Amino acid sequence: MTFYDVEDYAEVYHEMNTNFSKDLSADLSKYLMRNGAKVNSLLDLACGTGVFCELMNKKWKLKKCVGIDLSKKMLKIAKDNTKGGIKYIYGDMTSFDLGTQFDLITCNYDAINHLEEFDAWEKMFKSVYKHLNNGGYFVFDYNTNHKLERYSNSFWFTENRDFDFVSHIHTAGNKLCFQEYVYKKNPDGTYKKYKTKELKEACFDDKKIAASLNKVGFKDVKMCDKGYELTDFNVSRVYVICKK
């Protein structure tokens, strides 16, 4: 499994991820409240710099909030910025044993796609199920094969605020390989360059993912779009929400 942990890239990731986490936490909270969920505890897998944990902790006034990540630099930023007693742990999202259970477990920002073999996805599902309270929710999102195919063998450039993103992308089957360069504008008008290591993503058939979740024991598995409405799957990112 590969992850974002090169030079000072974690600092850029923190800023890049903030808006995504704000939108996601708002949409998810609306869904949970609409369905009468009681959320007193959260475990966020591949928590990065802790933005999502902070937002959910503030929104729900959580009694217990834990984040797990394999990037020590991400975790350092998370710990430095934390304000509400959130616990951050260095660890692998596919195999963890915390000796406690949660009302809500999440894995955001297509982090699961970095698990290149489906066995690792299933291993993660089993670990999540073990750590989830009865009636609790497991929520994650992933980039679809539709997106991986669309970005196959392409050169991608976008601009967002004072960041420029450049990725060289190529794929083989259901796997995507890319290296990302981020240019952040300095006050004097020059740019500082941040670079990731070569990253890989993999995706699998939507029905296979749903079947695996059901096999583990999850029920009421929903494949949704960004607003947690049912999707036709002709999308770049699917949001999954299921219950134990």
Q: Are residues 55 and 124 in the same domain?
A: yes
Rounded average pLDDT over 11-25: 80
Residues 126 and 177 in one domain: no
pLDDT at 232: 63
Of 76-90, 153-167, 221-235, highest mean pLDDT? 76-90
Residue 73 forms part of a structural domain: yes
Q: Are residues 94 and 175 in the same domain?
A: no
pTM of the model: 0.87
For residues 81 and 178, state if they share a domain: no
Residue 85 lies in a domain: yes
Query: So what's the pLDDT on residue 1?
Result: 47
pLDDT at 144: 86
Residue 50 belongs to a domain = yes
In a domain, 3, yes or no: no
Within-domain flag for 40: yes
Number of domains composing the chain: 2
Judgement on whether residues 178 and 68 belong to the same structural domain of the protein: no
86 and 131 fall within a common domain = yes
Residues 228 and 114 in one domain: yes
- pLDDT of 107-141, one tens digit each? 999 999 999 999 999 999 999 999 999 999 999 99
CA distance 147 to 139: 20
Within this chain, do residues 129 and 153 fall inside the same structural domain, yes or no?
A: no
Q: In terms of residue numbers, what domain contains 26? A: 9-144+205-243
Q: pLDDT tens for residues 103-113?
A: 999 999 999 99
Give me the pLDDT at residue 83, please: 79
> In this model, does residue 240 exceed pLDDT 60?
yes
Q: Residues near 237 by Cβ (< 8 Å), separated by ≥ 6?
A: 110, 141, 142, 143, 144, 147, 226
